[in-house]
Amino acid sequence: MAIIRETTRGYNVLAEEDILATSRKVFLTGEINPESSSDLLKRLMALDEENSDEITLFINSHGGDVLSGLAIYDLITNMRSPVRTVCIGAAYSMGAIVFLAGRKREVYEHSRLMIHDPSYLSNDIGGKKPHEIQSQVDKLIETRNVLAEIISKVTGKSLDEVLKVTSEDSFYNAEEAISFGLATEIIRKET
């Protein structure tokens, strides 16, 4: 959708994303994959290059590719601009890991977060040798530990506590996310 603005030079047609980018607001919605992460990485880099003011990243994602999500996490945690992450809807799986990259981590009142162990996406092990299967399992366990360490570092929970809760899909409403240390604040309309 485009928005038309009148200026001294006439009318300008602007995309919603361009207007939001001028106020340093970007979105991560849908699946996290190489394409969506590449687009987001470029936007974040451009905003960080522009100046070091705070950037707000709104997240509504059920997760996706681990490497793409970790690329976003690494960039955010190494930018000079502070990034405020806001869960608006859902931050599940890798969406939750990206959410944890924010210096401020805010959730809307009816949003949900979910953390869990990574899963092996291909169920086809037919024709594979035992050492090939074991190699894939070893990589999965390595990824599990990387994600658990991130959650542990951000929440202040022990690695054992994190590994226990991530062994299953663990869902958190806004209050529970604050209590566990995933979020720092709930966004509510002041009356």
Per-residue burial over 18-55, b if 16 or more Cβ lie within 10 Å, else e, is eeebeebbbbbbebbeeebbeebbebbeebbeeeeeeb
Beta strand ranges found along 19-54 (DSSP E) = 25-29
**Mean pLDDT across the chain, nearest whole number?**
91
Enumerate the active-site residues: 93, 116
Confidence class of residue 145 from pLDDT cuts 50, 70 and 90? very high
What is the value of pTM for the model shown? 0.88
Place of tokens 């037919």: 126
Domains of the chain, first to last: 2-187 (3.90.226.10)
pLDDT of residue 123: 61
Cα angle 139-63-171, degrees, rounded to a multiple of 5: 100
Q: What tens digit of pLDDT does each residue of 56-66 get?
A: 999 999 999 99
Contact 181, 165 (CB under 8 A): no
Contact 24, 53 (CB under 8 A): yes
pLDDT of residue 127: 78
Q: Give yes or no for residue 121 having a pLDDT over 70.
A: no
% pLDDT > 70, the chain: 87
Could you give phi then psi for residue 147, rounded to 5 degrees? -65, -40
Confidence class of residue 132 from pLDDT cuts 50, 70 and 90? confident
Helices (H), 79-184: 94-99, 130-155, 159-166, 174-180
Q: What tens digit of pLDDT does each residue of 83-110 get?
A: 999 999 999 999 999 999 999 999 999 9
Q: Give yes or no for residue 12 having a pLDDT over 90.
A: no
